[in-house]
Structure 1
Amino acid sequence: MIKNKYIPVILSSMILLIGFILLITMYQQWKQERVEISNPVLNQITTSNEKLNLKSIIHEAEKNVIQIESQTEDSSLTGSGFLYNKQGDIITNAHVIKDANVIYVRTADAQIYPAAVVGVGKETDIAVIRVPQLAGAFMNVEKNKSPETGDEVIALGSPHGFQNTVTLGIISGQERDFSVDGFHYENAYQISAQIAEGNSGGPLIDRKTGNVIGINSVGTKDGSIGFSIPIKDAIKQIEAWSNEAKTEALNFASTSNLINKKDPKKLKEDAEYLITYFLDSIELRDYVNAYALLANDMLSKTSYKDFRNDYVDFINVTFDEPKSNITEDNQVQSTLSVTIDKRVEDKDKSEKGLYEYTFTTKYENDQLKISSIKVNKPKNKS
């Protein structure tokens, strides 16, 4: 009876001993193994704390920031806008296009397209126009998050017709309410970035994320203070307009009378803008965007792979102002000096050279394209 009494105690002790030995063994194996931790939350925090490159933010935004030119019977008005969805819909201010008989847009690569009104506010200074040819790429808008006073912002637009002008500043105030020219502004952001005539309708971009947080709308006469409509307050109405609009039912103007090829000044300006945009794309390694600027003749002779290989070793590209002249067949030849810092094969250093580039641009299917690029040998090296 006594022996039977101690059997449970002995069994319990043995179980505890075996369990203890197993724990020690597992601990020793765990110490020897390399443990890799994947923490999505940690990764997200790390990524959000990294400040995006300013030049990259601006370059990406420029692709989707649009210059808007609206014409009435008596006058014309230049404003700005930005693509916000895959349908080719552009957000702008109502006062830019409200009385227009004809609306057309100029893109960052000097292309011109007719636009149609999708929706326009009566008291709220917001509007949406559509350009089907621009369907695809668009800017990310911040639909929920609000910026804080002191946050850095970037404003893009076309003040006084100077396309894709960039101004930097901060959110200097919030919840500003006022009325201008029959439009009422509620909870507007006050910004230190300058807003001048032509900036209206352009995007206000969060410096940290690169997302659109507002629609630049009004500026003081001295340019010291600007006001921007919060995108989160307007997006519901904007999306309702876009969802209801049927492209086939919209009224688009013809482009036949929009491109004045006989205006030498404008022709040179567009050509030089296209060239600088091309070189900026190369410098930022945006080869797809640069390749898309070439005319069909060049595209047929040069594959994208070969085109990319021609520029992939470029580390840094700087250039002077182009000098242009118009040929008899209405093409523009632009020459400029380009300094290129280029990687040297099988070496750990780069080679800097000064080159002379000559670009020829022409209209192809009513769109300005680069038809040839000639490069002279370096004038000097350092």
Structure 2
Amino acid sequence: MHKKHTGPIIATVLAAALGIGLMFLINNLWSSQTIAVNNPIINKVESESRSSDLKSIIHEAEKSVVQIEGQNEYSNITGSGFIFNDKGDIITNAHVVRDADVIYVRTANARVYPAAVVGMGQDTDVAVIRVPQLAGHNALTVETEKQAETGDEVIALGSPHGFQNTVTLGIISGTERDFSVDGFNYDNAYQISARITHGNSGGPLISRETGNVIGINSVGTEDGTIGFSIPIVDVIDQVTKWTNEVQNDQLDFASSSDIGKDTKSDELIDSAEYITTYFLDSIAIRDYVAAYTLLGSSMQLSNSYTEFRDGYTHFADLEYGQPSSKLLDDNQIEVTIDVTVKTKLPDQLETKEETTSYKFIIGHENNQFKILSITNTKSQG
């Protein structure tokens, strides 16, 4: 009886051993080979994730770009700059601030602060100014190692006022340009196709690919066809040295009480229209925090941030027309603007388009411009 069962048992053992051996062989074979996955859908998603949205780059960068306003007994001076660290330090051109007796900066959300010079180049057209109130504020990421190359796509930003006109696109059209202007030596400068005007001086040149600052916009030709930017990698060591050596109590700041004292009516209107369009731009890009900070205290008290945000989250798209403004009593400004909104509610399959005429009242609150009220009248749907 035992002999009858010996054959099947041996066959079973041999089959099991053969199966285990094949499993080890296949496992070793798989471990020694690299499996290539070429999925066009995955490649497309990875490519899109690396390519930042242009509008987002501009909106985020603009939070760190300031308008610089200098004054002396003979004239007013304007230029641009950008926050680059957590101390509230701003990089700009030396020619923007060298002749100023007092310096103020105006931020993207229309707040104005006194500034002081931290360091200034004698031969190189670079300077750093400090605004303590901007310590910890959004700072742009600076490229500290890589030089830009001819053909790289760039974005040139100027002061935040007149947002639509101070953002220009282009490419690096040349490198290693050497020349002198107004006593400053420009060595190894980038030549760019993006337009550089007086208001752009000191503003950042940003890489379209990475969103990092690669240069300081400095000089433009008279016809506006060519601009030049100082590579940030060439000056970042000097800039960092200035910021590390100076403490706030060593600096001479302008008086906050003088801010806006002699502001002209056209400047008030320009500022009010800028705040209005910046508010709408923030809503369009879903930056509700930036928009909410522009509201006056009474509006914020009657409308929490969550309530404010929820009032706009159903907006699918937003466009606005040209603002129309007039000066009211107490230096308040009334800004009227038509806004076209496409909305899509959760239970709707299609978007609904509606144009509304909004009236913004802009005025001073704690020496800063704020949106004091917003009213609307539906004009068409």
Residue type at the aligned position of 2:256: T
* 1:74 matched residue in structure 2: 74
* 1:319 matched residue in structure 2: 320
Contact 2:358 2:375 in 1 (8 A): yes
> What is the correspondence of 1:112-131 to structure 2 with a 5 Å cutoff?
112-131=112-131
More displaced 10-residue stretch of structure 1: 127-136 or 270-279? 127-136
Q: CA deviation at 1:261?
A: 6.5
* 1:195 matched residue in structure 2: 196
Q: CA deviation at 1:196?
A: 1.5
Instruction: Summarize deviations over 1:182-241 as a string: whole Å, max 9, x none.
Output: 111111101111111121111001111111100011111111111110001110111111
What secondary structure does 1:115 align onto? strand
* 1:63 matched residue in structure 2: 63
Structure 1 residues 131, 19: closer, same or farther in 2, change over 3 A? farther
Q: CA deviation at 1:23?
A: 4.7
Residue type at the aligned position of 1:219: G
Contact 2:81 2:159 in 1 (8 A): no
* 1:134 matched residue in structure 2: 134
Q: CA deviation at 1:49?
A: 7.4
What secondary structure does 1:272 align onto? helix
In 1, distance between residues paired with 2:186 and 2:240?
Answer: 19
Residue type at the aligned position of 1:66: V
* 2:4 matched residue in structure 1: none
* 1:21 matched residue in structure 2: 20
* 2:110 matched residue in structure 1: 110
* 1:8 matched residue in structure 2: none
In 2, distance between residues paired with 1:173 and 1:126?
Answer: 21
Do structure 1's residue 257 and structure 2's residue 239 form an aligned pair?
no
> What is the correspondence of 1:139-218 to structure 2 with a 5 Å cutoff?
139-158=140-159, 162=162, 165-218=166-219
Do structure 1's residue 361 and structure 2's residue 362 form an aligned pair?
yes
Do structure 1's residue 346 and structure 2's residue 350 form an aligned pair?
no
Structure 1 residues 337, 290: closer, same or farther in 2, change over 3 A? same
* 1:46 matched residue in structure 2: 46
* 1:331 matched residue in structure 2: 332
Residue type at the aligned position of 1:21: I
Do structure 1's residue 310 and structure 2's residue 316 form an aligned pair?
no
Instruction: Summarize deviations over 1:138-177 as a string: whole Å, max 9, x none.
Output: 1111111122101111111149x74670111110100111
In 2, distance between residues paired with 1:67 and 1:26?
Answer: 70
Do structure 1's residue 96 and structure 2's residue 96 form an aligned pair?
yes
In 2, distance between residues paired with 1:128 and 1:22?
Answer: 72
Q: CA deviation at 1:180?
A: 1.3
Residue type at the aligned position of 1:350: T
What secondary structure does 1:145 align onto? coil
Contact 2:65 2:159 in 1 (8 A): no
Contact 1:69 1:79 in 2 (8 A): yes
Contiguous gaps of at least 5 residues in structure 2: 1-12
Do structure 1's residue 225 and structure 2's residue 226 form an aligned pair?
yes
* 1:290 matched residue in structure 2: 291
In 1, distance between residues paired with 2:79 and 2:373?
Answer: 32
Contact 1:339 1:355 in 2 (8 A): yes
Residue type at the aligned position of 2:325: S
Contact 2:318 2:341 in 1 (8 A): yes
Q: CA deviation at 1:47?
A: 5.5
In 2, distance between residues paired with 1:18 and 1:203?
Answer: 70
In 1, distance between residues paired with 2:95 and 2:275?
Answer: 28
In 2, distance between residues paired with 1:261 and 1:326?
Answer: 15
Contact 1:261 1:330 in 2 (8 A): no
Q: CA deviation at 1:26?
A: 8.9
What secondary structure does 1:149 align onto? coil
Structure 1 residues 169, 299: closer, same or farther in 2, change over 3 A? same
Residue type at the aligned position of 1:71: Q
Contact 2:109 2:290 in 1 (8 A): no
Contiguous gaps of at least 5 residues in structure 1: 1-13
What secondary structure does 2:348 align onto? coil
More displaced 10-residue stretch of structure 1: 56-65 or 161-170? 161-170
In 2, distance between residues paired with 1:19 and 1:379?
Answer: 82
Paired residue total? 356
More displaced 10-residue stretch of structure 1: 324-333 or 97-106? 324-333
Structure 1 residues 234, 244: closer, same or farther in 2, change over 3 A? same
What secondary structure does 2:301 align onto? helix
Residue type at the aligned position of 1:58: I
In 2, distance between residues paired with 1:48 and 1:187?
Answer: 33
CA-based RMSD of the aligned residues comes to 2.7
TM-score normalised by L of structure 1? 0.87
TM-score normalised by L of structure 2? 0.87
Structure 1 residues 274, 353: closer, same or farther in 2, change over 3 A? same
* 2:9 matched residue in structure 1: none
In 1, distance between residues paired with 2:333 and 2:226?
Answer: 39
Residue type at the aligned position of 1:155: A
Residue type at the aligned position of 1:355: T
Q: CA deviation at 1:312?
A: 0.4
More displaced 10-residue stretch of structure 1: 102-111 or 89-98? 102-111
Contact 1:139 1:212 in 2 (8 A): yes
What secondary structure does 2:275 align onto? helix
Residue type at the aligned position of 1:55: K
Structure 1 residues 217, 345: closer, same or farther in 2, change over 3 A? same
